[in-house]
Amino acid sequence: MDRADVGALVQSAVDGDAAAWKALVEGLSPLVWSVVRAHRLSDADAHEVYQTVWFRFAQHLGRIREPEKTGSWLASTARHECLKVLKSLRRLTPTDDPQVLDRISEDRTPEQSFLDLEEAAADRERIRHLWQEFEELGERCRLLLRVLMASPPPSYQEVSAALGIAVGSIGPLRQRCLRRLRARLEARGAA
């Protein structure tokens, strides 16, 4: 989301404008979700952390020093909460977390209807392969790309806050990771 817009929406929300709050949720939810998913929590933990982040944001609304940097604030809060959950002892028991790919077969999301369309079969295959190759990338690339693919695309400041890495290292790392992903897709196509 555009920083100036975010700053203005935060100000309106502070003044009690529920529609502005909703617009913030719509615009920044995918970023928060991407950060949480990038950290590979179980589904249950991912849902809880996402909620904690928004509850904390609602609580701190009006107290955030640089409202235009709300995206970075949310990304950083999500990251810290993810790391904490991963660290907490009771979470050491491995949970049965179904692979994201399995969800294609579940009849739940509105996107499912799109995937069911006959004419979308080729797209479906392509997306499935892309996702599979993405999931098999190394840890660092998977983390970075999962955050970068938030919609709308996050700023590098937000990515930096989400991953705790310097802004300057994002560009080169991104190229490296996308190059690897492309190589994997090409190798797959050739096989």
Residue numbers at the binding site for another protein (CB under 8 A): 13-14, 16, 18, 21-22, 25-26, 29-30, 32-34, 37, 45, 47-52, 54-63, 81, 84-85, 87-90, 100-101, 103-104, 109-111, 114-115, 127, 130-131, 134, 145-146, 148-151, 153, 174-176, 178-184, 187
**In the complex, least distance from residue 9 CB atom to another protein, rounded to whole angstroms:** 12
Rama region for 41: left / alpha / beta (φ>0; ψ in -120 to 50; rest): beta
**In the complex, least distance from residue 167 CB atom to another protein, rounded to whole angstroms:** 17
Give which of 32, 107, 109, 41 is closest to 73, Cα–Cα. 32
Angle at 42 between CA 38 and CA 46, to 5 degrees: 60
Residue 101's contacts (CB-CB under 8 Å, 6 or more residues apart) are: 128, 131, 132, 135
**In the complex, least distance from residue 78 CB atom to another protein, rounded to whole angstroms:** 11
Would you say 2 or 131 has its CB closer to another protein? 131
Would you say 84 or 167 has its CB closer to another protein? 84
Would you say 65 or 90 has its CB closer to another protein? 90
CB 184 within 8 A of CB 142: no
Query: Quick one: how far is CA 31 from the chain centroid?
Result: 5
Would you say 8 or 61 has its CB closer to another protein? 61
**In the complex, least distance from residue 67 CB atom to another protein, rounded to whole angstroms:** 14
Rama region for 62: left / alpha / beta (φ>0; ψ in -120 to 50; rest): left
